[in-house]
Structure 1
Amino acid sequence: MEREWVVEESVAVGAAPEEIYRALRDPRRMRQWSPELFAVWVRGREVVEGTRFVGFNRLGWRVWFTNCEVTAAVPGQAFAFRVSSFGMPVALWGYRIEGTGEGTSRLAEYWEDLRRDHRGAGLVSLLGKVFTGVPAAERARVNRAGMRATLARIKASLESPRDGTRG
């Protein structure tokens, strides 16, 4: 099987694009939904393009962190960030939001492996396997499963009322 460098999953959500964006624009909320991410440290209060944050991840007994920078923060449309490790690019993660009418939307999560396009890519791939336990060739499969779980949790969070408010 040929290695996948880009993965995307999507889900229909019973929420308007602006509501979905408000939930996604703060990386600290992602720990509610992601099966890997368990903590986030964000530099500054407001999250805008250029904001940097550190994500702390866990898979089984393995724990690691990544440095991230927000690359897109478009209200009601998109939120994305670039991940690096040891100063080298690792991946691009993002969300696209498309209104489908009457308070519903399609939410897509995507991931692109950036380890093929730079000097030191082999080292970053090796370090990724050491820290996460997932070989680079298997990362797309693992991420696809994680995206499905994440999207289902975001959908449930936004569609279920909580103390009279959603999200």
Structure 2
Amino acid sequence: MDREWGIEESIGVAATPTEVYRAVSTVRRTGEWSPECRAVWARRGPLRAGDRFVGFNRRGLFVWFTTCRVTTARPGSEFAFRVDAFGLPIAEWGYRFAPDGEGGTNLTEYWRDLRTGRSAPVAELLGKVFSGVAPERRAAHNRAGVRETLRRIRQILEA
């Protein structure tokens, strides 16, 4: 089986794209819905392109942090960030927000693996050591996490 280098999943949310964007781009809230990210150190409020933040992650007994930089911040449309660890490119994560025609939002979360090129072996080893997930299982692991994240975002925003 070939390795997957990216995934995306979508869900409907009964809130406007602007409301959903504001929640997701306020990255300090990520720990509310992510099954892996426990906390984020960032300035308050929605972030803009170029802003940086630190994510603190946990999976079982494994704990690690990543540094992130917002790459896309288009309110109500798309929010994305690049993740690095120890100076190595790891991934790009993002969200797209589209009106569903009924006042709600079709929310899509995507992930793209950036562990390629000369630094790939080191980045993959670090990923396995800290997260406990082997490179060939990364896409399946992230797909399950994205589905849970989207479900939790919907549950929180519709409450």
Structure 2 residue runs without a partner (length 5+): none
- 1:154 corresponds to: 153
Q: Percent identity?
A: 56
- 1:52 corresponds to: 52
Q: Larger % of helix: which?
A: 2
Provide closer, same or farther for how the CA distance between residues 33 and 15 of structure 1 changes in structure 2, counting only shifts above 3 A. Answer: same
Alignment map for 1:105-124 (pairs within 5 Å): 105-116=105-116, 118-124=117-123
Report the number of matched residues.
159
The Cα of 1:119 is off from its aligned counterpart by: 2.1
Does residue 80 of the first structure (1) align with residue 72 of the second (2)?
A: no
- 2:30 corresponds to: 30
Provide closer, same or farther for how the CA distance between residues 26 and 59 of structure 1 changes in structure 2, counting only shifts above 3 A. Answer: same
- 1:135 corresponds to: 134
User: RMSD of the TM alignment (CA)?
Assistant: 1.2
Provide closer, same or farther for how the CA distance between residues 106 and 63 of structure 1 changes in structure 2, counting only shifts above 3 A. Answer: same
Question: Aligned partner of 1:76: which letter?
Answer: G
Structure 1 residue runs without a partner (length 5+): 161-167
Distance, in Å, in 2 between the alignment partners of 1:157 and 1:43 is 22
The Cα of 1:102 is off from its aligned counterpart by: 2.6
Distance, in Å, in 1 between the alignment partners of 2:46 and 2:23 is 13
Distance, in Å, in 2 between the alignment partners of 1:110 and 1:45 is 22
**Normalised TM-score (structure 2):** 0.96
Deviation string, structure 1 residues 105-131 (Cα, Å, up to 9, x no partner): 100000000002x32111010111011
When Rg is computed on C-alpha atoms for both structures, the one with the higher figure is 1
Distance, in Å, in 1 between the alignment partners of 2:111 and 2:41 is 21
The Cα of 1:148 is off from its aligned counterpart by: 0.5
* 2:124 counterpart SS class: helix
The Cα of 1:46 is off from its aligned counterpart by: 5.7
Provide closer, same or farther for how the CA distance between residues 156 and 141 of structure 1 changes in structure 2, counting only shifts above 3 A. Answer: same
Distance, in Å, in 1 between the alignment partners of 2:46 and 2:73 is 11
**Normalised TM-score (structure 1):** 0.92
Provide closer, same or farther for how the CA distance between residues 152 and 51 of structure 1 changes in structure 2, counting only shifts above 3 A. Answer: same
* 1:125 counterpart SS class: helix
Distance, in Å, in 2 between the alignment partners of 1:5 and 1:141 is 10
